[in-house]
Structure 1
Amino acid sequence: MLEDSRQGTMEVGLLRGLLQARSTSGEGRKAMFVGGTDSGKTFLVRQLADELSRSGKRVGVLDFDLGQSTVGPPGCIGLQLPWEEGGDPLFPSAMVFLGFLSPAFDVGSVIEAGLRLEKRARELGYDLLLVDTSGMVEGPLAALLKRSKVRLLRPDLLVLLDREGETGHILRGLEENSFGELKRIPPSPEARRRNREERAAYRRELYRRYFQGGGELTLDLREVEMVPSSPRLVASPDVLCEGLLVGLNDGEGLTLALARVVGVGGGKVSLRTPFAGREGDIRAMAVGSSLILEEGTLRFRPPGDR
């Protein structure tokens, strides 16, 4: 159990708020966490997920952080349900591949992917759904993104981890009936800002682990539909190249697994992937905007660049 100590009071208060919150949807309760980069929100989400799971609740975590994901590999919106205490859900219950690391690239696709996974969470059933968001909080685009998530997901509890008022502008213009209870808390004093190289190293390690032990899969491009992971991108055999990161999607637009292109020719594409299901379950191949190099480094490919 979380201790009701000076350091644990914040977490205990949030936990009690979650358990007592009234659902605005008549279904399971939802809590959304908003804060700047390295504010400690992801640590708090995982801590609460562990605690609530231990208490017998069916808990899910919906992770919107594309660049520093903790549910699923980078470049994806991920859902883990049910949450397993102390787990490391690199292979989540469900995910949507977007293929870029910043939500600023395509805000609309980020929101749409999140709604698709929230629908999946409702289908699976939950007592509590914890929504972790990216650290993008500054500027009008960040405000638009966060407000849209709140309006569409309608959390019962909205938690702002506020560092010197940086999240205050997000609330302006946001209707009170779009969320239930509001809690403002300071970022964790133990949160440490990471530099760009540390963030890149984290992604490299996740990709290394994700593709470790994977096998090769060859798909006939005449039998699998190619779709862009974003309306800003183009999906055609001409854009396929070695190292391109793609998503193997089912018939509902959810991503079964990621894959890395290793060869193209004769109307077929050869992929490196951890996918171990039936090939017939793959209904589409989502083409992203990133190349993943052998050592796991991700390189962004601008739209139109071949």
Structure 2
Amino acid sequence: MHRTVQPNRTLLVDGPASVQLVAGKAEVLGYPLKTEQRVLVREGKRQPFYTVETSVFNVLLGANAAVQEVEGCTVPASWSKPVQTVLSLEKKPVVIIVLGACDVGKSSFCTYMVNKLVEAKRSVAVIDGDLGQSDIGPSACVGFSAASAPVTELYNLRFLNGCFVGATSPVKAATQTIKALNCMMAEATAKQADYILVNTDGFVSGEAAIRYKLSIIKELKPDVVVGVQMGDELEELMSYLGGGGLMMVEPSPAVNQRTPEKRKLLREMTYAKYLKKSKLHCIPISQINLEPRNGVPKEQKPERGLLVGLYGRGTRFLGIGVLRAVNSERKVLKIQTAVRSKPFRLVFGKVHLNEKLQEVED
């Protein structure tokens, strides 16, 4: 359907949907759209289309999709200050960490910052440290990418490398997650980008969460920490930091609150994406390094496959797989994966997937 939107209004589209700018001028999170450009909005996601002038959109809605129109721009004015601050810093690279609780729009803010930095002709490396709602790479991984052009969402960035953690929450994998962030930070630094932008998960409340986030900050040594805060949920965490480089911004009023079921669905979409055209491979245990070495399950049922990470030589992440069976007599692992090259290392995860790549509770 065609929809005409007057200037200084925002069309909020909940996916699954397709939106094409037919005429006029509009932008998504600081990214000016081209005429006839089509934007896909994933299920469980919301995209804001802000009209600079009267614009005509062709909107195609999928099942359970929705569209609404609101006055003004849903990108808060406060978002521009961190951008101007990091652009004024002369060191290279400038490391930025974004903090915030679940569903406050951290990824949207990161997308906006990427677009504004790219617009200023700067190179940006992006590290996605949100294990449970990954935009870059599969869930249960810390992903790495580089932006040289604007995007409507971080999900559209090309996955360059990753580090498999094997869990969708840092609650029981804090040490592994910090190690993975350090690994991707080293890779981002080697790329000699002007900026390294690190998005994090929504685990911010309570003693364990604060200890975890402070450990990340201690390890990555950011120049700027941006907190996206709805109320006062970051106050305790921020009180431990002090000094310069701390900035608080408000969430977008367009933020979409997701149910646990919707968050689970988004994770499963990443498994499906990175296991597309997967096949069952038999890998002799003697021909691969296992982490941990004693991690092979005594009994492995295909309907409760175990998520694993596959690596080449060194830190090169090849992709994910699902351990479907173990042949104890032949000492062979049967793994469903889209990885075609020979893996040298396999890391066992803690997530179980059924044959439809849906998460199965323990």
Q: 1:100-129 CA distances to partner (integer Å, 9 max, x unpaired)? A: 111011211111111111011111221111
The equivalent position to 1:259 in structure 2, one of 318, 321, 324, is 321
1:217 aligns to what SS in structure 2? strand
Give the match for residue 48 of structure 1.
113
Structure 1 residue 285: Cα displacement: 0.5
Whether 1:200 aligns to 2:268 is no
Question: How many correspondences in the alignment?
Answer: 288
Q: Which has the higher strand share?
A: 2
Give the match for residue 155 of structure 2.
88
Tell me how far apart the structure 2 counterparts of residues 161 and 292 of structure 1 sit (CA, whole Å): 33
Gapped regions of structure 1 (runs ≥ 5): 302-306
The equivalent position to 2:207 in structure 1, one of 125, 137, 140, is 140
Whether 1:20 aligns to 2:80 is no
Q: Which amino acid aligns with 2:138?
A: P
C-alpha change, 1:10 and 1:197, in structure 2 (3 Å) is: same
Gapped regions of structure 2 (runs ≥ 5): 1-26, 33-51, 53-71
Q: Which amino acid aligns with 1:18?
A: V
Structure 1 residue 300: Cα displacement: 4.9
1:187-226 to structure 2, matched below 5 A, reads 187-226=251-290
Give the match for residue 21 of structure 2.
none
Give the match for residue 354 of structure 2.
293
Give the match for residue 137 of structure 2.
72
What's the TM-score once normalised by structure 2's chain length? Answer: 0.73
Tell me how far apart the structure 2 counterparts of residues 145 and 210 of structure 1 sit (CA, whole Å): 28
Give the match for residue 4 of structure 2.
none
- 2:147 and 2:157 in contact (8 A); partners too: no
- 1:147 and 1:171 in contact (8 A); partners too: no
Give the match for residue 217 of structure 2.
150
Q: Which amino acid aligns with 2:289?
A: E
Tell me how far apart the structure 2 counterparts of residues 19 and 299 of structure 1 sit (CA, whole Å): 45
- 2:145 and 2:157 in contact (8 A); partners too: no
Whether 1:250 aligns to 2:315 is no
C-alpha change, 1:300 and 1:252, in structure 2 (3 Å) is: farther
- 2:100 and 2:202 in contact (8 A); partners too: yes
C-alpha change, 1:190 and 1:35, in structure 2 (3 Å) is: same
Q: Which structure's CA Rg is the greater one?
A: 2
Tell me how far apart the structure 2 counterparts of residues 187 and 237 of structure 1 sit (CA, whole Å): 43
Structure 1 residue 157: Cα displacement: 1.2
Structure 1 residue 226: Cα displacement: 0.7
> Which segment is superposed worse, 65-74 or 45-54?
45-54
> Which segment is superposed worse, 103-112 or 208-217?
208-217
Tell me how far apart the structure 2 counterparts of residues 248 and 83 of structure 1 sit (CA, whole Å): 28
Give the match for residue 238 of structure 1.
298
Give the match for residue 123 of structure 2.
58
Whether 1:113 aligns to 2:180 is yes
Tell me how far apart the structure 2 counterparts of residues 173 and 98 of structure 1 sit (CA, whole Å): 27
Q: Which has the higher helix share?
A: 1
Tell me how far apart the structure 1 counterparts of residues 294 and 268 of structure 2 sit (CA, whole Å): 26
Q: 1:40-96 CA distances to partner (integer Å, 9 max, x unpaired)? A: 111110222133224322111111111111111111111112455326358621111
Q: Over aligned residues, Cα RMSD in angstroms?
A: 2.4
1:216 aligns to what SS in structure 2? strand
Give the match for residue 173 of structure 1.
240
- 1:80 and 1:89 in contact (8 A); partners too: no
C-alpha change, 1:257 and 1:12, in structure 2 (3 Å) is: same
Tell me how far apart the structure 2 counterparts of residues 226 and 59 of structure 1 sit (CA, whole Å): 34
1:218 aligns to what SS in structure 2? strand
Tell me how far apart the structure 1 counterparts of residues 278 and 147 of structure 2 sit (CA, whole Å): 25
- 1:30 and 1:156 in contact (8 A); partners too: yes
What's the TM-score once normalised by structure 1's chain length? Answer: 0.86
Tell me how far apart the structure 1 counterparts of residues 287 and 242 of structure 2 sit (CA, whole Å): 47
